[in-house]
Amino acid sequence: MNGSSHQEPMTLESGATAAVIGGGPAGAFFALHLLRRARQLHRDVRVLIFERRRAATGTALPCGPGSWKGCNYCAGGISPKLNDVLADLGLRLPEAVIQSRIHSITIQGFWKNIELEVPAGRDMLSVYRGSRPVRRPDRFHSFDSFLLEEALKAGAELLSGEVVDVRRAGDGKPLIRRRANGADIETPADLAVFAVGVNEVANASASGTPVLQALRRLLPDFVPPRLRRALIFELEGQPGLPASLADAIHFVEYGSKSLPLEMCSLVPKRDFLTVVLVGASIDAATRCEGNREILKQFLELPHIRKLIAPGVRLTPACACSPNMVVGSAKNPFGDRVAAVGDLVTARLYKDGILSAYLTAQALAETVLTTGIDARSLQEGYGPTLRRFARDNRFAAVVFLLHRVFFSSSVLSRVLYQAAITERKTTPRADRRLEQILWRIASGDDEYQAIFRAMVHPATVWSILTGGMLITLRNYLTELVFGLRWEGFGRFTTGVPLERLEAKRREFARLIADASVAVPEKLEFERMYTIQIRASRERILEQLGRFGEADRRYLRPRWVQIRRAAGVPLTPGCVIRYEVFCRHFAFSLILEQVVGGHLAVYRVQNGFAEGGVLIFEIEQRNEETCALSIYVAFNFARGRRWWTRPFCQFFRRLFPAFVHDVLWNHSLCRLKDLVETDHEKADRPSAACCTEPIASTAND
Ligand SMILES: Cc1cc2nc3c(=O)[nH]c(=O)nc-3n(C[C@H](O)[C@H](O)[C@H](O)COP(=O)(O)OP(=O)(O)OC[C@H]3O[C@@H](n4cnc5c(N)ncnc54)[C@H](O)[C@@H]3O)c2cc1C
């Protein structure tokens, strides 16, 4: 630490000037907090913000006042916690700045998809931080521009231009030199706050730029935080982004053997999809050429092609490889000088803007209430930075475990299964795994708390029982029935506990409307549902193949399913099931087809005689339908005295889970078939066209 020999703390005196170098989130939050707190404490402080991406107030910019030049190299995810902070500060993001309101986060590891809904009362948004990509019609509105404007409204003054040097004047106070309109201007200050981030020059390391060299001269022991390269690019949806991607963030936790990736985030914007990649292939890439190749390979990954909505043309609009903070700076303050935001630290892989706020707030509070010398900063600001460093040590373990699970096909299946089991058996508020995954994905808790929850015996128990054992059982079932999962994803099809009653009522209403007789006091009742990005007609088309010899779903070994009579999807059509042999058989007869959204089959004989199998297709939005299945029956009692004990025995041993496994596989396969057919029909070209892309420059 750059020590101070002062016995008395140096304070920010009345009328003192704080120079904030960089008007990104850290700089703007610092200014806001300092000015508001100073007012509360009846202190008079002048705050100057030096920002090179915005012209000074009143200056006409080609893109209008308040707008921002260039890019801030960020996916623009606004976490629930950051939303809380903005609300506490009384800052309401204008609608024009909000690009998307996020309803769900999907985590995908080795074709297993765990969808997490944003809980009630939590808000997640996406925004653009700057004015890129240039083709954006709404490029004059950005988060950084809004935040800086709020700081200016609070009383800060904006000095535009690039800060090229900061040195100490004769009295030890900082002297800031900026370059604006070709001239160098020096401005004295009592305190210099470095909020320049770690991407002062895109595609450059944090060490070599003039402002950082200046910081190093002021704080010779300063060591910048450890950085890791990311690749960020924008895909433009033509026309617009499909509804299936528009309000969901996707985290894909793997790439391929030739493209090793640790994390891929897909964040929706109004007309674009922002993609951030982190991993070994990004670490190793040699700048522009390498990035272009990675982008191309990424878009060709089978699981990414499946994820990106079929029929949608996505054109790369711009790309760059900025630095991400993955460590903490050493000795980031001294007498009258301190760093905030990315330049000191950030929460690992999450919530950099919130981190900027937390460091800025702690520094502002310290300089007002403790002092601006090294010792005061150590005393007031140091603990916050140490908390970040400690929490990030837990973060490293959390992400290691997360990666170990999601990058292994076996472990990702165990976790996926454990999450499904929990969803089907435990009330939402008590779901440990779901909450852990949500908190990691959204940044909605400290890593230390997440780590504790991860290693809690109850979590381990639910992974062992709800995950490992059930995976083993289901795996063996899939082996027996010859179900293969190559080339398509697993999605949860069981109805979560909290929706079960509503779904049951929904089916009861549909059944009543269609005057379908259903046995009373059901002994077996199952519901499954899956979202399919296709029209009702296309789903019906596949359902019409139920029982056909060349259908590509519901083809378990040992179970012969064939259309024995009638016309597909027409009442009277008979589907015959033979399980293991001809003697163990039953038939389904299509009783009703209602309005192209409901097909009711009745079980004619066998162990489930009188029961129903109902397919329902519900249009969710323009592009997506939910296909649900309802199965309900009472076990046959046996007609003769000698068959009754056998029926009793069968009822007790009926392996309901086999039914679940077969239908889960069939529905996921059907989804894939419908979506792929849809893709072929609607899109003559490849999933994504990789036209030459613009590298984001610094304007
Ligand atoms: C690929 C990627 C994706 C990310 N996604 C997210 C996300 O979704 N959500 C999230 O919360 N965080 C995300 N982050 C992290 C987040 O971007 C940073 O943590 C955050 O921007 C840090 O804010 P800052 O103010 O410290 O720095 P910056 O945002 O970098 O701001 C620094 C400011 O200083 C200005 N400046 C720099 N040098 C000078 C100079 N010499 N003179 C004058 N002005 C100067 C710059 O123009 C800039 O405005 C992401 C980071 C990366 C790399």
- The per-residue pLDDT for range 117-166, each reduced to its tens digit, is 999 999 999 999 988 888 888 888 899 999 999 999 999 999 999 999 99
The predicted pLDDT at position 687 comes to: 35
Distance 393 CA to ligand 1 centre (A): 22
Binding site membership of 591 for ligand 1 (Cβ less than 6 Å) = no
- Residue-wise pLDDT tens digits, 468-522: 999 999 999 999 999 999 889 999 898 888 888 998 898 888 888 888 887 777 8
The predicted pLDDT at position 310 comes to: 65
Binding site membership of 196 for ligand 1 (Cβ less than 6 Å) = yes
Which segments within 279-344 are labelled E, that is strand? 313-320, 323-325, 333-334, 337-339
- Substitution site in 187, 353, 696, 698 for ligand 1 pocket (most atoms within 8 Å of beta carbon): 353
Binding site membership of 26 for ligand 1 (Cβ less than 6 Å) = yes
The predicted pLDDT at position 642 comes to: 76
pTM of the entire predicted model: 0.88
- Substitution site in 83, 98, 196, 326 for ligand 1 pocket (most atoms within 8 Å of beta carbon): 196
**Strand pairing partners for 77?**
126
Q: Report how far residue 542's alpha carbon sits from residue 552's, in angstroms, rounded to the nearest whole number.
A: 9
**Strand pairing partners for 319?**
233, 695
Count of H-run helices and E-run strands, the chain: 20, 29
Which atom of ligand 1 is found nearest the CA of 340? 26
Q: Report how far residue 508's alpha carbon sits from residue 70's, in angstroms, rounded to the nearest whole number.
A: 56
Binding site membership of 342 for ligand 1 (Cβ less than 6 Å) = yes
Note whether 127 and 143 are within 8 A (CB).
yes
Distance 344 CA to ligand 1 centre (A): 12
Binding site membership of 142 for ligand 1 (Cβ less than 6 Å) = no
The predicted pLDDT at position 475 comes to: 96
Closest to 308 in 3D by CA, of 696, 692, 683, 694: 683
Binding site membership of 447 for ligand 1 (Cβ less than 6 Å) = no
Indicate which residue's Cα is closest to atom 29 of ligand 1.
24
Closest to 20 in 3D by CA, of 150, 207, 169, 151: 151
Closest to 573 in 3D by CA, of 609, 613, 539, 537: 613
> Who contacts 245 (Cβ-Cβ below 8 Å, separation ≥6)?
237, 266, 268, 273, 308, 309, 312
The terminus-to-terminus CA distance of the chain in angstroms comes to: 36
Distance 699 CA to ligand 1 centre (A): 15
- Substitution site in 52, 74, 385 for ligand 1 pocket (most atoms within 8 Å of beta carbon): 74
Q: Supply the DSSP symbol for 493.
A: -
Q: Report how far residue 384's alpha carbon sits from residue 148's, in angstroms, rounded to the nearest whole number.
A: 24
Distance 355 CA to ligand 1 centre (A): 11
Binding site membership of 358 for ligand 1 (Cβ less than 6 Å) = no
Which atom of ligand 1 is found nearest the CA of 50? 43
Binding site membership of 356 for ligand 1 (Cβ less than 6 Å) = yes
Q: Report how far residue 412's alpha carbon sits from residue 335's, in angstroms, rounded to the nearest whole number.
A: 50
Binding site membership of 200 for ligand 1 (Cβ less than 6 Å) = yes
Distance 198 CA to ligand 1 centre (A): 7
Distance 199 CA to ligand 1 centre (A): 7
Stretches where the chain sits below pLDDT 50 are 1-4, 58-65, 202-206, 681-699
Distance 468 CA to ligand 1 centre (A): 42
What the block records as the tokens of 356 is: 């900027």
Indicate which residue's Cα is closest to atom 4 of ligand 1.
74
